[in-house]
Amino acid sequence: MTESQNMLEVLACEIDVRPVDAPGIDALASAILGVERIDGELIVSFAPGAAGVVQRFVAAEQQCCSTIRWDVEQTPAAVRLRIGAEPQQIELLEQLFTH
């Protein structure tokens, strides 16, 4: 099994459902302000100007990784993506957002 296949299996993603033109984590990388775990959730903070890209990313992820909870909240200082998932999924997502 390839690393990509393993990641999709852990995340329980139906990658074929994800819109082809949707932004991926790489499109968000330059806007990441911080990544932390709070109460078992992964919180990724982005620069306020990234709100549109974050919203499009989340909309795509909600389609293909529907077992994972993706919540976006915006404040004047940051856009926060709160991800709720199984511990193994959180671990993998944290690695993806920090590398």
Q: In this model, does residue 1 exceed pLDDT 70?
A: no
Q: For the chain, where are the alpha helices, taking DSSP H only? A: 3-11, 25-28, 51-64, 87-98
Q: Name the more confident of 10 and 67.
A: 67
Mean pLDDT of 53-74: 94
pLDDT at 79 over 90: yes
Domain extent listing, the chain: 3-98
Domain 3-98: which CATH class? alpha beta
Residue 27 Cα distances to 30, 46, 53, 70, angstroms: 7, 12, 8, 17
Kindly provide the b/e burial profile for residues 38-77, where b requires at least 16 CB atoms within 10 angstroms of the residue's own CB: eeeebbbbbeeebeebbebbbebbeebbeebebebeeeee
